[in-house]
Amino acid sequence: MTGGTETTALEYRSESRTPERWAPSIGRVAAARAGIELRSYFRNRQAVVFTFALPLVLLLIFGAIYSGNAPGTHTPMKQVLIAGIIASGIMSTTFSSLAVAIAVERDDGTLRRLAATPMSPVSYFLGKVAQAFVTGVLETVVLLAVGVGLFGLHLPDTGARWFTFVWVVVLGIVACSFLGIAYSRVAPNARAAAPVVQLPYLGLQLISGVFFVFTSLPGFMQVIAGCFPLKWMAQGLRSAFLSDSFQQSEAAGSWEHGRTALVLGGWCLAGLLLCLATFKWGRAKK
């Protein structure tokens, strides 16, 4: 009788672990993780202040420096700058923020503990992207408010321009989020994370038309920048905010909406594949 009781208990425990019956869905786990990520993020005041403040400080500094129109145009240089800074702000709250945060979580053992839960890597990715989406949108709203209030930025004046603004922001957030998750693997430990991440972030800002008119940069810099999302995010946002006459100052002499969508969409897919190929719950073996 005792044996029968033990067998029944064992069978019950076995059934309770059947994945098909009890495992939560990827979407439910991702939604739960997104809530945790957001609460954790906003409790870290230093990270919030630094992530949100850096693009804002850059906007205020360069906005105070620039005066007059962009070379060869009738468009105020400050408005050209704001579009680029918004793109940079999105990259800050996605690529930079996620890459550093995940490197820290891997180093302090958080990821190993998460590996013991029902959460799959895909659910983890989606939770991180959801958190980055919220913070990226908030950063964009803050920069828009400052741009309109202090620098006379003209908001999109047609439905088509608003639509362009929305899809550029959404694709930019997703692409940079996945790239940040994948790039976190490059940092060997938590202490090295910030400098390892800031190097490409700052470098791409300088060559992607964030602070300067893109076509004023050397040709080889334009080629390098064209391989990454930030250049296309900045160009797409310029097309939403600036008059169509400014497109003559772009490298192709047009806004290239089709190519912008193709490049950003391609980086969304490539970033996801890189995440799946490189992500590990623990540290890399030495």
CA 29: distance to chain centroid? 21
Q: State what percent of residues in the chain have pLDDT above 70.
A: 90
Is the separation of the CB atoms in 241 and 233 below 8 Å?
A: no
Query: What's residue 124's pLDDT?
Result: 92
Mean pLDDT of the chain: 89
Q: What contacts 176, CB < 8 A, 6 or more positions away?
A: 90, 91, 94, 95, 132, 229, 230, 271
Tens-digit pLDDT profile for residues 72-97: 889 999 999 999 999 999 999 999 99
Tell me 117's DSSP state.
S
170 burial via Cβ count (<10 Å: 0-12, 13-18, 19+): middle
pLDDT of residue 28: 87
CA 144/CA 121 separation, integer angstroms: 34
**Single-letter amino acid, residue 113:** R
Note the Cα 51 to chain centre separation in Å.
Answer: 12
d(C-alpha 99, C-alpha 188), whole Å:
12
Per-residue pLDDT tens digits for 237-256: 999 999 999 999 999 999 99
Say how far apart CA 137 and CA 100 lie, in whole Å.
19
Return the bridge partners of 76, or none: 69
Total-model pTM = 0.87
